Amino acid sequence: MAPPMIGVENLAKSFGAVRALDGVSLSVAPGEVVCVIGPSGSGKSTLLRCINFLEEPTEGVVRVGGRRVGFVETGAQVRRMGGRELAGLRADIGMVFQLFYLWPHLTALENVMLGLTEVRGLSTRAAADRAKTLMHKVGLADKMAAFPEHLSGGQRQRVAIARALAMEPKVMLFDEPTSALDPELVGEVLQVMEQVARDGMTMMVATHEMGFARRVADRVIFMDHGRIVESGPPDEIFDRPREERTQRFLDKILS
Amino acid sequence: MNIDFSTALPYIPILIKAAGFTILLTLTSQFFGTVLGFFLALGRTSRPGWLRGAVWFYVWVFRGTPMLLHLFFIYYAAPSFGLTLDAIPAAIIAMSLSSCAYNCEIIRSGLQAVHHGQVEAARAVGMSYPRIIRRIVLPQAVRIVIPPYMSNFITHTKNSSLASVVTVPEIMLTAQTIANSTYRVIEILTLAGLLYLFLTSCLTWLQLWMERRTTYERRGLTARRRRQLGLEAA
């Protein structure tokens, strides 16, 4: 078996007295699409945010592409990464947020370009060319010069996906990418994500879109109270869950 | 009461020269006050508690005491510590110290108005802290900060009249001297007032210009930027 693209061992995260993650272990193979489902507050977002160190784990180890996240290991010595090392690591991990977080003072195209010029060191022209290819890919060729405030939620989220993909990351993390969208705009975003999955990207998706999870995921993880309750292929989780808690959650969300 | 501007007119060149000192004091201290204030604002929004506390303390002291006192302190009290300064450098230092306390708070309000999520998105793309400040936070903060910043700039311009107490021959001190020797108080003070009004009007105009320049969303990309990006004209 190929070494995992994402490896999480015994991950825990506390916010004060609240234990958001309570001993999570999992591994994601290259090209695998994993959907994380569960009630709000179950730790889905915190899990994703620990993977690119936006949240610093209280305990446990995260590796992406074999590299320890947030720390440098030399022999037996472990030290915390500096800002620059952390930035370099994050450049290889794409992240899409629930609330898009496009930069409002830049056009859609410039949003996609900025990481390329600032982090990858591309020239303006080379960055613009690559960003245009991605704007085509997410179906927004006609919106390149538009500012975020003139885009719909679905369009904004597609720009955010293009912005993350432009960096050519090893993995993509999606933190409830459609939860803030009007229902009629969800489809266009899921369609783009499905395309990204088909292209072989390693993906972790925290989502409430059970149809998407069933269709696209190789594996579904159900979380509750900061723990993985069960995980397995989508048809197993959705049709024959072993745990009663999973069943109760699915009953609630699908009814 | 007789008002006769003809006797006051010959003093206009002297008053204009005095305005030169007012401009010198205001611009240099506003410049230092802005640069220092920016770094203080970064310190005030940074993670280390001691740094935040130190900046808070500075602002507490310098915003909580009158600029007149800072001027007296630097000019009259500093020699007891072995530091003797001419009037103009002393005034510039005192005014800068005062200005940067206010500018720290004004700039901080702009930095903090940029949604934290945008900073997070930039971190997720792999941008370092200085780049995030330069490319994401500052461009947005500038626009937010323009009205309070310019208001403070105008106040600061008028407060430069306080430098008269440490003998800087700026507009107010010069006007007083002329008025005392000519007894044309109303005429001279009117001219001084007009000079201040002219200076602050320039700042008001500058504010309008800056606000217009930063409404990019409505005006869209410039032709030059479009060419750079290889986009066809709108």
CA A218 to chain centre: 15
Joined together, the tokens standing for residue B25 give 């004091």
Contact: A160, B123; criterion CB under 8 Å: no
Does B76 contact A at CB distance below 8 Å?
no
| Partner-chain residue, chosen from A84, A149, A163, that has the shortest CB–CB distance to B125 | A163
Joined together, the tokens standing for residue A168 give 């050519």
Q: What is the C-alpha separation between A143 and A122, in angstroms, rounded? A: 22
Q: What is the pLDDT of residues B49-61, one digit of tens each?
A: 999 999 999 999 9
| Partner-chain residue, chosen from B117, B217, B230, that has the shortest CB–CB distance to A101 | B117
Average pLDDT estimate for B163-186: 93
Q: What is the C-alpha separation between A135 and B175, in angstroms, rounded? A: 64
Q: What is the C-alpha separation between A196 and A210, in angstroms, rounded? A: 18
Write down the mean pLDDT value for chain B: 93
On chain B, the residues whose CB falls within 8 A of the CB of A114 are 122, 125, 127, 135
pLDDT of A205 > 60? The answer is yes
Does B61 contact A at CB distance below 8 Å?
no
The SS3 call for residue A72 is strand
Contact: A84, B123; criterion CB under 8 Å: no
Q: What is the pLDDT of residues A9-58, one digit of tens each?
A: 999 999 999 999 999 999 999 999 999 999 998 999 999 999 999 999 99
B43's enclosing H/E stretch is helix B12-44
pLDDT of B216 > 80? The answer is no
Write down the mean pLDDT value for chain A: 94
Please check whether residue A46 is in contact with residue A216, taking contact to mean a CB–CB distance below 8 angstroms: no
Q: What is the pLDDT of residues B69-83, one digit of tens each?
A: 999 999 998 888 888
Task: Give me the residue label for tokens 């010198």.
Answer: B24
pLDDT band at residue A221 under the 50/70/90 scheme: very high
Provide φ and ψ at A161, rounded to 5°.
-65, -40
Joined together, the tokens standing for residue B40 give 């203080």
Which position has the higher pLDDT, B96 or B232? B96
**CA nearest A168 in B: which residue?**
B125
Return all residues near A73 (Cβ < 8 A) that are at least 6 apart: none
The SS3 call for residue A54 is coil
**pLDDT score for B83:** 86
Please check whether residue B119 is in contact with residue B137, taking contact to mean a CB–CB distance below 8 angstroms: yes
Contact: A87, B120; criterion CB under 8 Å: no
Question: Nearest-CA distance from B216 to chain A in Å?
Answer: 8
**pLDDT score for B228:** 86
Average pLDDT estimate for B228-234: 76
Please check whether residue A143 is in contact with residue A155, taking contact to mean a CB–CB distance below 8 angstroms: yes
| Partner-chain residue, chosen from B126, B216, B231, that has the shortest CB–CB distance to A105 | B216
* Mutation site, B229, B231, B232, interface A, largest A CB count within 10 A: B229
Question: Nearest-CA distance from A246 to chain B in Å?
Answer: 31
Residues of A in CB contact (< 8 Å) with B are 52, 54, 83-84, 87-95, 97, 99, 101-105, 107, 109-110, 113-115, 118-119, 124-125, 128-129, 132, 144-145, 147, 149-150, 160, 163-164, 167
Return all residues near A218 (Cβ < 8 A) that are at least 6 apart: A32, A33, A34, A233
Provide φ and ψ at A222, rounded to 5°.
-100, 125
Beta bridge partners of A28: A6
**pLDDT score for A1:** 61
On chain B, the residues whose CB falls within 8 A of the CB of A104 are 118, 140, 217
Q: What angle do CA B32, B33, B39 make, to 5 degrees?
A: 90
pLDDT of B234 > 90? The answer is no
pLDDT of A247 > 90? The answer is yes
Return all residues near A21 (Cβ < 8 A) that are at least 6 apart: A11, A12, A13, A43, A46, A47, A50, A57, A58, A60, A226
pLDDT band at residue B233 under the 50/70/90 scheme: low
**Residue B192 burial (CB count, 10 A):** 23
A19's enclosing H/E stretch is strand A18-28
**Residue B141 burial (CB count, 10 A):** 22
Return all residues near B73 (Cβ < 8 A) that are at least 6 apart: B94
Please check whether residue A116 is in contact with residue A122, taking contact to mean a CB–CB distance below 8 angstroms: yes
**CA nearest A86 in B: which residue?**
B126
| Partner-chain residue, chosen from A89, A119, A164, that has the shortest CB–CB distance to B127 | A119
What is the pTM assigned to this prediction?
A: 0.89
**CA nearest B218 in A: which residue?**
A147
Please check whether residue B220 is in contact with residue A109, taking contact to mean a CB–CB distance below 8 angstroms: no
On chain A, the residues whose CB falls within 8 A of the CB of B131 are 118-119
Does B233 contact A at CB distance below 8 Å?
no
**pLDDT score for B1:** 66
Does B228 contact A at CB distance below 8 Å?
yes
pLDDT of A115 > 80? The answer is yes
